[in-house]
Structure 1
Amino acid sequence: MNILLIGSGGREHALAWAISGSPLCDRLYIAPGNPGTAQCGENVVLDIADHSAVAAFCKLHGIGLAVIGPEGPLVDGIADDLIAAGIKTFGPSKAAAQLEGSKAFTKELCAEFGIPTAGFGRFTDANEAKAYVASQGAPIVIKADGLAAGKGVVMAETLAEASEAIDMMFSGGLGAAGAEVVIEEWMIGEEASFFALCDGAHAIAMASAQDHKRVGDGDTGPNTGGMGAYSPAPVMTPALEEQVMAEIIRPTLAGMIARGIPFKGILYAGLMITAQGPKLIEYNVRFGDPECEVLMPRLKSDIVPALLASCDGVLDAFDLRWSDEAALTVVLAAKGYPARPEKGSVIKGVEKAAALDDVLVFHAGTKQTATDLVADGGRVLNVVGLGKTVSEAQGRAYAAVALIDWPGGFCRSDIGWQAVKREREG
């Protein structure tokens, strides 16, 4: 079949790499794609905000499956519009995408259906929000309700930082995303990313991962969209994975059915593994980025039948196979990220890095000019190493990073540190 993949980041390059390897894929189109996805299929110029234009493209090119990569189009209802036009589409409906599009929606769902999560309050008034913070004390977490490209969460260690974050959000610093604010208790524990493939009624666990949100080594500095990730996450034991399925994923699917908005697609649970057990930090309704870049290289099953099974509601008779190997990705970001990334700097050595054994390089914010590959975003490249252990994967990833000549970029030097520490101590 012909397949259309929507998106342009590192997640989409990883998905394009996996989809293009399927014998079920005849032609792969990526809209708009990037220089990396162009190696896997055909990039097409298409206004993905114009859903009728996307549907027309699908009909013209005989698209048998549309795969929606990023959250924005899902929250905007692209899956609804494509399905209404008769195009099989992987991704949740607009109503179900509220699980990511509105943090308040998800917190209320958790409260109604007994899903473990942090205590919270929701506010549309700055003074009321500040009064709540004063009553709770610091540290505390301030979140914009809507989509904010990974920048809508402030981990406020003091009351002053919390007040500043509240003022920033309500004054329009994050646009419409900050019109409502969710304030949560600060949970203590180790974070993990858990992915489940869902068909509305059923869910099957995918691999776990752990990402690194803070921009600097030692988990310092502001939050980002993610500076690196590895899979599997050693903290996620088989027993803990089943606990997450039983206490978080399945109750969420049941709650969504009860609300009349069944969830189909990828349910990405950001978890905090606390002394009381796993708790939900937040949901995303698509593959994570950069987690997708470490999941796809470990997936031994053909991804296309899995996506189709989700669309068709037959996951109860489906299974996925995963490599025992570890994968680790280091994000190379443009200087100035996450505040004001500098665009246009020339990147060299990518082919040399990608030629190493057990290394993959996925493009994110890149652009190909007539003569050079240049930076065209905040997070620009994802350098993936594979190995028998996270330590081995880490070594291969950083050896590849060293071959990339890009003075305009930077990366963290400690991706995977928690898993590496576990391996050394174990």
Structure 2
Amino acid sequence: MSPVRSVLIAGASAGGLATAEALRRKGYTGTLTLLGAEREPPYDRPPLSKQVLSGAWEPHRARLRSPEALAALDAEFLLGDPAVGFHAHRREVTTAAGRTLTADAIVIATGVTARTLPAQRGVRGSHVVRNLDDTLALRSDLLSARRVAVIGDGVLGAEAAATARQMGLEVTLIGPQPAPMTEQLGPLVAGHLTGLHLRNGVVWHGGVLLDRLHTHGDRVTGLRLSDGTELEADVVVTAVGCVPATGWLENSGLNLDDGVVCDAYCRAAPGIWAVGDVARWQHEGLGRLVRLENRTNASEQALAVASDILGDGRPYLPVPYFWTDQFDARLQIYGIASPDARAEIVEGDPSDGRFVVRFEGPLGPESVIGWKMPKQARLQRASLVDRYTRPQQPVAS
């Protein structure tokens, strides 16, 4: 690879910033540009559904770095100007403001956008939680609300429900799964999560979808579920997943399929890499394409991409990890369990509110989940390392 003298990072959130910082730490001294769609300096997203939404943090506390630390990067930040087009062969990015930017190396770190439901468009009191503006708008509505319905039973929906309940609101959590976060946690742990929410006063409606929103004028007043249940609500939060932010890459020459498709080194094309939520790369330990939407992966993948840009790359083989805080419980999730994996409690006791579960599949341990047992969960993670870092034969994705 010829020496890289200029790097353009499209996306100035956690993955983009971590890539820039890793390049500087590794000795890169060339031109460095970060292009961001939002006007705010880079900030952390996990606190949005918890500390910022509850008001425990002022918004500025979610910033990833101080102004002095950003200045020390010696990078140009072009904020509030989203990328709208890309030509892969020319490595040329066009922006909403009419800029045309090129570089020796391009890193795509544009993340994801919140999926919305047709019924909520144009309805006041209906919210998603993806960026800081979303969170502040939702918090403003919650401060004058009494009843909240959260549609979506994944990690973001469960966190938003817990936060709203801790703010003293009447909260109903709604989703298609038999228990919140069943897909990520498995039935055993998800059942305990249901119990945690119920003990704290959240009403749970599982196995259902939204049928329609009720409004008065353009303001939400309630909703009807697919089983016919009618609920009153002053605020509705929709957390039904995200979509990789790849619209600006259409007709760019890149392979797009549930994200930017990359090889094991996170390379999308010569001189082009993807990092974070938008990247779908070949995980050689699992033998298939993987896309992860979490803060830890964005940071770890950034290190791998920075190394590869500078000619010292290796296949990116992480043990996936994320955490979630809900009420008084912190859950730490390592690995990805297959649907038929067998769950076994290996530390603690659920009746005591502290335990670790390990999931065993046909090839051995697949995942570890710790419930208020962080040290023990980290120790159990060691059983997963061989599974995720030993290259497998590719499988159909």
TM over 0.5: no
Normalized per residue, the structure richer in helix is 1
Which protein shows a greater Rg? Answer: 2
